[in-house]
Amino acid sequence: MAQVLGFPRTGRAQAAKKGLIKTKLSPFFTALDGGDIQCELCPRRCRVAKGKRGLCRVRENREGRYYSLVYGNPCAVHLDPIEKKPLFHVLPSSGSFSLATAGCNLQCKFCQNWEISQASPEDVFSYDVSPEGMVKLAQETKARSIAYTYVEPTIFYEYMSDIAELARRAGLLNICHSNGYINPGPLKQLCKWMDAANIDLKGFSESFYQEVCGGELAPVLETLKTLKREKVHLEITNLMIPTKNDDMAVLKEMCLWMKKELGADTPIHFSRFYPLYKLRTLPPTPVSTLEKARDVALSAGLEYVYVGNIPGNQAENTFCPKCKKIVIQRTGFMVGEVHLKGGKCSFCGRPISGIWA
């Protein structure tokens, strides 16, 4: 079964297919007795019997060796504004060539991309694009970066890492939007190529992670600290879900942790939840909740606090922490006036953290 799909702004099309296209041996597994393996890529450390797959659905034990089933097989390829990641402190208004394969290592009940994140590779239409081909496509669109996004990129790690190395050599930035659910070893290797990351800090309690996401909080916090140490530009997204993670006392604790461990200049995006997937009975996040969260974060000492999914809100702009003037004006994903000179506020000269050129 095939379906012809176009690559964005390249004038090229390819027959996207259902079914497994290619596989690649994973470097991240330990062989166990009896042909079982243990995956070492993410904190789940799935133990997988011969012929079976890990929880992310895209890694399979074949005769005691573990294979990625999505190498070179993206099911989503789009040219997005970098603001959509969201990364507000990296090359404003530039294009980011964005890709994903099927699969994910969490099972969030509010997932916005569940059709591909909770799917097996056989369930979706996929392209056949080598890492070299992906960098070439990105260059044809004049994108300034390649984004690994839409699902958890850890699950297509080998593909991401090979593209990222080539992209770096071609002068493109590498950016990701991730849930941060990855083991320290693979993460440190990836940091060699990664320029910027937006990590979902989905809540600040183990119970929220266990009940709503099917994971754990502690490994995500370790990932954040590692990214900071490895000097990868970091922004954080917190999707606020009514009654699930909107307790302002917990939120304050989270912001204070961020300030202490990651620095006051780490941008945070409080994003509006819309009823989706398994949480359809909850209402959208009230705007007042997001604005309250912003006040809490600013009072905790964070310098760049945004509100997302509410186009036209004042808190989409970047304000200089010193003179309080707008240095980057935004409406939705559109960038208006930019008042930065050499990475500094052009009104008062205060450095604004980010990658600006």
The footprint of ligand SF4 (CB under 6 A) covers 39, 41-42, 44-46, 54-56, 59, 105, 155
Cα–Cα distance between 96 and 99 in angstroms, integer? 10
- Measured from the CB of residue 64, what is the shortest distance to ligand SF4 in angstroms? 15
- The residue number whose beta carbon is nearest to ligand SF4 equals 54
Q: Closer CB to ligand SF4, residue 61 or residue 309?
A: 61
- Measured from the CB of residue 129, what is the shortest distance to ligand SF4 in angstroms? 21
User: CA 315 → CA 275, 298, 330, 342, 355, distances in Å?
Assistant: 22, 12, 9, 23, 20
- Measured from the CB of residue 261, what is the shortest distance to ligand SF4 in angstroms? 24
Q: Closer CB to ligand SF4, residue 46 or residue 173?
A: 46
Cα–Cα distance between 106 and 279 in angstroms, integer? 16
- Measured from the CB of residue 41, what is the shortest distance to ligand SF4 in angstroms? 4
Q: Is the peptide bond before 86 cis (omega within 30 degrees of 0)?
A: yes
- Measured from the CB of residue 51, what is the shortest distance to ligand SF4 in angstroms? 14
Q: Closer CB to ligand SF4, residue 155 or residue 262?
A: 155
Q: Closer CB to ligand SF4, residue 105 or residue 313?
A: 105
Residues 303-334 as b or e (16 or more Cβ within 10 Å = b): bbbbbbbbeebebbbbbbbeeeebbbebeeee
Give just the sign of the alpha carbon dihedral 95, 101, 105, 110. positive
Q: Closer CB to ligand SF4, residue 9 or residue 65?
A: 65
Q: Which of 47, 56, 10 is nearest to 29 (CA)?
A: 47
Cα–Cα distance between 291 and 288 in angstroms, integer? 5
Q: Which of 241, 347, 232, 197 is nearest to 250 (CA)?
A: 241
Cα–Cα distance between 16 and 18 in angstroms, integer? 7
- Measured from the CB of residue 175, what is the shortest distance to ligand SF4 in angstroms? 21
Q: Closer CB to ligand SF4, residue 98 or residue 179?
A: 179
Q: Closer CB to ligand SF4, residue 40 or residue 140?
A: 40
Q: SS3 letters for 27-89? A: CCEEECHHHCEEECCCCCCCEECCCCECCCCCEEEECCEEEECCCCCCCEEEEEEHHHCCCCC
Is residue 329 within 8 Å of 313, Cβ to Cβ? no
- Measured from the CB of residue 49, what is the shortest distance to ligand SF4 in angstroms? 12
Q: Closer CB to ligand SF4, residue 10 or residue 189?
A: 189
Cα–Cα distance between 225 and 213 in angstroms, integer? 21
- Measured from the CB of residue 329, what is the shortest distance to ligand SF4 in angstroms? 40
